[in-house]
Each structure stands twice: as C-alpha cells, then as structure tokens.
Structure 1
C-alpha cells in the first residue's frame, strides 16, 4: 500500500497555469522523500499514476542535475545528500576545456589580452585553461592549474555570485587582503556579488595585483547553471578607465565569448 502523502499524489494533477514537467518532477522528489530506502522506477510510476517511460525521463533529469542519486546496483533512486548543492563535480573538466579552448584562443587574439577559463572545485577557483597575451602582460598566477582567491579576482567573483551558499560562508570568515583595493569586508563582498548577478559580468581593477585588472563572465550549462567563467587579464589602464569601469569593447568581447562557450555546452538549445 502506498504511503505517499495526498499532497504528493495530487501534485501530478494538472493545475491551470502551472508547468506540468515541474509539477511531476516535484512529485517524484516528494515520493523519494517519504521512503527510507531507494525506490525503483516501477514503484514511482505506480505511486504517481504515470507511465514508466515518463518517470524514467524525469528521474534521469533529476539525477543529471544532482537532486537524485541512483544506487550502485542501479535498482533504485533516492534523494541526493545535498539535493540543492552545486553541480560542479558532475562536469568533465576535459570537456569544458576542449569546448572552450577555441573561443578563449579567439578572445585572446581579438583583445591581445591573456585569457583564462576557471571552474569551481570545492571552495577553490582553479584555472583549467589559459592563453598568454601578445605582450606578456597578465597575472602569472592565472595560469593553467593555478588556484586563485575567489574574492579577489573577477573570475572568482563570477563563481561566488552564482554559488550563494559558498559566498555566504566565505564572507563570514576572514578575507585575505592582497592590495588596498581588495574587498575584505563580508557585507561589501555580498553587495558586489549582487551587482555581478544583476550585470552578468565582473571586473576587478588592481584587487589581486595592483597593476593588473581582470574582466570575466559566466559560462552556463544546458540547464542554465554557471559551470565555469571566462575572463581576460591585463594592465589596469588597458582594461579599465580612470573610474575603474571596464572598457566597453573588451567587456563585449568577454561577454560574447562566454555566450558562445555556453552555447557550445548546450545552453539555450532545445533538448
């Protein structure tokens, strides 16, 4: 006999104005939340009164986004330990690098600046691909394999802006100062990250190295989650004007590259 709550069972009924696939996916999560043991596809389908093929598609998507886990024997499904956590560990870094490489190389050629692709691993921002600038100006610490401070570079602030939990945790602790422009106050960092989310890009002028500026934009996966950041670095007076605002041509190039890489990762494409 099913022990799913009436709320769960009724949640798959179509409500005018609501999106059916979201209703059904939520119903699947409710079913898994009521079971102490992993649940098979047949039981989920029976409980919700849906076709097994429909449930398979829903569960497969929930697994892909990290909300549901499949057991090692593949016989059942359960809620992930952290169903609303980051999905950064599910991306193949070699694939990210391969799909982004052509665009970062082109970005370096168009701007004559050093370019980088970064990902978030745990609490660390790691450079996974870089291209040296034509004149050699840029941050030596923004090279492939390097770890960079999340709060003190544009690349890092892109990641923090879209990982609110990590940003809150980082902002509650001690923020290391690298230059007099480094943000070291948690409230100021939170305000800056809110602006990054609103604008869709980040800029840092001399906050990690007093003579170097960085501009970055988010790279999104098929579902819209920020999976990486692409950016450029160079001399402060080349990237920014006297007010610290990024030069529009460079900013447009970075944003355009981020969108192109996102499309290459499936963002904005129909399944």
Structure 2
C-alpha cells in the first residue's frame, strides 16, 4: 500500500489546524488527547518539515522504524523532522503538552533530537509564538516576517550541537545581523523602540546597526518599529475591547493623547474612529 503524501494545506485540513498561512507555515498546540497531529499516522508522508517542542510531560517516539527502540522525550525536548523522516508517537504521559511548527522549508537532512537549555528553550518557544501570532493577524509583510522568524530559528538550531562548547557568535554577516535584529525587535517593540537597546543586544554600535538595517531593508530602525506599533494598535482596536488608555500602557506610550497623535499621523483618523468604522 502506497503511503499518502500530504502538502501542508492537506495535512492542516486532515488534522483541523487553524493557525496556517497558505501552504507555507502553520502552528499548533496539543495535549495528550490530540498529540497525534505532531507525527501524523505511520502510513503518511509529508512535503514539509515538522519541528516540535515538549513543554510538559513526556512522550516516546520511534524514528524511521529504529529497531533499537523508542526515544523518550521530556520537557525541553526538541525534535526536527525533515520531509523524508517517518516518526511514530508510541505513547504520551497524561500531562503531556507540546507545540509544533510546520514549514515548507529545509531545516535538516534527517531527524534531529535535542534537549534544550533553559535559554534555548525560551528562545525557540518565543519564535513558535511569534510565528503563531504573525499567522493569526493581518500583516502587509506577513511572508517576510514569518521567513525572518524561521531564519533566526535556523541560526539557533545551528548552535545546538555545540551547546557545551565555547562558541563565539559570528555576527559579521550583515544578513544574519539583520535577522537577529528583527527577532529582538518583534520580541521587544511594545516596550523598547530606541536604537541603543537593539545595538546593545547585538553588541554593535548604534551607527553600525542603523546603517546596516537601512542598507539591507531600505527602511530605518524607527520605520521598522513604528510600523510594528501601528499594526499592533490596529490589531488591538479591531480584535480586543481594551480601552485607549490600556492600549497606550501596553505599547509604552506616555499617555492616551500620545497614542492618539501617533495613530492619527499614520491613519488620518483617531483610534476610536478606526475602531468604529
């Protein structure tokens, strides 16, 4: 019997995944009751990579029919499955919780399994959540934002085999610096919009970072940050019942008036008018 081969959209429809962007990327969470979505069935193959992170509990998986037995994954376990890998979920604990991203990109030539440090666990979980949030909301540059997150994830994954080594972080390549800048910006723009904050994160000068970001993207750091803030205000106005004061506080404006002026300069209307249109 030939195995069924799924692209991402077909797989998402089969397992009722909601947070999906076309046939490119998807995010899902699961507990013990619906954990099968991470692996699919043994007779199924996929045309995309699957990356999943164990948040709580444990599970046993069998990779590519390994006769030596199943592999136990506990909290902090991270698995990368390429489109060529076959994995079977043998069992899960009652308190099992995990998150997964599915993406039509190359992450590994074969199945890879890691036990993450607390720092790497938090970084990868943050990226999973960024991908989820970008997929869920309207963004003009959605595909570029998602790809940036996956580029940062690839940089983190490249470091995992050397976790116990003293590895100097090579930030010389301009593209890599820009991707890491975007990662920190998406993570902190609600509270931090000063160039100095991001330059310190990257251990470079403000002048160098400012020049590099403009060279790579054609936009300034301030334009990147204000664009994200504006889109976040639009999302909060249309998808929440937060007051203007609460939105101003969440996005680190000095007061409601400062938020209104910022928004009106970019939209030509007040936040309240935008919410009620």
More helix by share: 2
Report the TM-score, using the length of structure 1 for normalisation.
Answer: 0.30
Report the TM-score, using the length of structure 2 for normalisation.
Answer: 0.30
Q: Which structure would you say has the larger Rg?
A: 1
